Chain A
Amino acid sequence: MKNPALSINRLLKSYGKLRALKEISLEVNRGELFGLIGPDGAGKTSLIRILATLLLPDGGSAEVLGHDVIREYKVIRNKMGYMPGRFSLYQDLTILENLELFASIYETTVEKNYHLIKDIYAQIEPFKDRKAGQLSGGMKQKLALSCAMIHEPEILFLDEPTTGVDPVSRNEFWEMLKKLREKGITIIVSTPYMDEANLCDRVALIQDGAIMSVDTPEAVVETFPTFLYAIKSSDKYLLLQDLRDYPNVNSVFAFGEYLHYTDKRKELPEDELRQYLEEHKHRELEIKRIEPGIEDCFMAFMEKEN
């Protein structure tokens, strides 16, 4: 029998006129590292707070580990770990004091569950007498994750753990998540960084309170509706303008050192486009077909919804 970690059915949440979640349905399997990918205001935090039994939905239903988020919230709270978007530990307690506080709330001890947090906690343990308020961003993150793990949760909710964090620290954080996943814990993680989607088993792309797509990152990319080209020339600003004025343009977006371009026609006559751009005095032209990434797909979904 199927025994999903999350089972969400037509979940609704509004704040006044703003519809934060528009009948979201979703199922997540046990042991999955599942990503909620979307920008600020997409509804990620509302969804996570409802699942973490901190916010009541207006309609629909949701089960976490088979328990209803409204009726059985107390059961869920003992089985889940939660790391909110904003650092919420006690700034004037030390690292160790914060950890012991969380352990004692769940009637366990740091010693008993040390093995669970060892990989993460060992990195900050040398500073265990330092106050949490005086830690660097990366260290706060490790402490918050340790606190969320100390009672041996079956499922972890991480609300934008990497937002505002530099790329190196982000890499380190995802390495930690991979290790936790190997222990069999279900992990639900939200992020506005599209490139992090590739590090998840499956992802939901969320925009404007609705899920645009749910699948493995590889399968999401396969749904990209057309051929994608990367184009660059010596002047990116003018290239962007000229491609927008090209009669057969479907979409053109800046993408790192290239522009990503799709054409209205099924296949792009590269020579024709090259000629057009050369007439517009673009030098050092490069046009090549490329495989789309999650961010290309996200934008394609967004354009389709509009």
Chain B
Amino acid sequence: MEEPIIYAKDLTKKFGDFTAVDAISFEINRGEIFGFLGANGAGKTTAMKMLIGLWKPTSGKASVAGFDVYREAEKIKKNIGYMSQRFSLYEDLTVVENIQFYAGIYGLTNQQIKSKTTGLIEKLGLLEVRDSRIQSLPLGWKQKLAFSVAILHDPKIVFLDEPTGGVDPITRRQFWDLIYEAAHNGITVFVTTHYMDEAEYCDRVSIMVNGRIEALDNPSTLKKQFNVDTMHEVFVKMARPQEA
């Protein structure tokens, strides 16, 4: 059997007396769209930062794309894509310059950079704005470009931290088209979101409450388990926001 692409066992992060992530365990398979849900302050961002090699765990085990989060954090960073809500594009560079800049950082050859740039611009319909600065583009275009740039180097996994905040409903769905396509092509997608309809688009979701994973399954099983019709209701039943 194929090894899980993300593996976590009793993964824990403490800040002083406060346990932000409390012994979480899960396995994610190749090509899965995995929704990582939880209320504000439940520990999602902390968990994600450990998985992408930015923060060392306090205890527990985890590997991402086959690399250990303690010893091989640099290798993890090379093998993943990452996009956050405050996307990483340079506002005062043009569309083409941004693509080329990131392709260069990812170590693509000149030939690869050329073909990737042409391909991306065509696919996203950005031909007319290829030499426009990012700051002049609508939010939705930026998000789609930021996602495409995040998977420019064909990573095994892409981490998306609330990628669709604030965009219009049509653009939000176009964005999910890109996610489906990436997953269809074998890229594992690890995504956090506050839109519960998007939770339904995931193959499996986990719900974090006060640092622990309190539920993990595919959306239809979770809905059955809680005897409700939507993931929104599952979430509201599960996730008590942590106050004070």
Contacts and interface: CB of A to CB of B under 8 A. Distances in A.
Contact of B177 (A38, A240, A257): A240
Interface stretch (A50-58, A133-141, A219-227, A267-275): A133-141
Contacts of A59: none
A136 B41 contact: yes
Nearest to A40: B166
Contacts of B231: 256
Contact of A295 (B166, B169, B180, B243): B169
A240 B180 contact: yes
Interface in B176-198: 176-177, 180-181, 183-184, 194-197
Contacts, number: 103
B201 A194 contact: no
B39 interface: yes
B139 interface: yes
A171 B236 contact: yes
Nearest to A257: B200
A39 B168 contact: yes
B144 to A, nearest CB: 14
A166 B38 contact: yes
B168 A169 contact: no
B139 A168 contact: no
Interface in B50-101: 85
A302 B170 CA distance: 8
B194 A167 contact: yes
B40 A136 contact: yes
B39 A169 contact: yes
Given A38-B168, A192-B166, A295-B169, A168 B39 contact: yes
B230 interface: yes
A290 to B, nearest CB: 12
B239 A299 contact: no
Contact size range, A: 35 or more
B170 A253 contact: yes
Interface in B13-50: 38-42
B148 to A, nearest CB: 18
B38 A163 contact: no
A236 B201 contact: yes
A228 to B, nearest CB: 14
A254 interface: yes
Interface in B225-244: 230-232, 235-236, 239-244
Contacts of B38: 166
B169 A41 contact: no
B40 A166 contact: yes
B139 A255 contact: no
A207 B168 contact: yes
Contacts of A122: none
B239 A166 contact: yes
A236 B39 CA distance: 27
Contacts of B200: 256-257
B232 A167 contact: yes
A42 B166 CA distance: 10
In the A-B complex, list the 10 residue pairs whose CB atoms are closest, starting with the nearest.
Answer: A40-B166, A39-B168, A256-B200, A166-B39, A256-B197, A257-B200, A137-B40, A237-B180, A168-B241, A192-B166
Given A40-B167, A136-B40, A138-B40, 18 more contacts: A39-B167, A39-B171, A40-B166, A136-B241, A137-B40, A139-B243, A168-B236, A168-B239, A192-B166, A236-B201, A237-B183, A254-B176, A255-B197, A256-B231, A295-B169, A299-B169, A299-B170, A302-B169
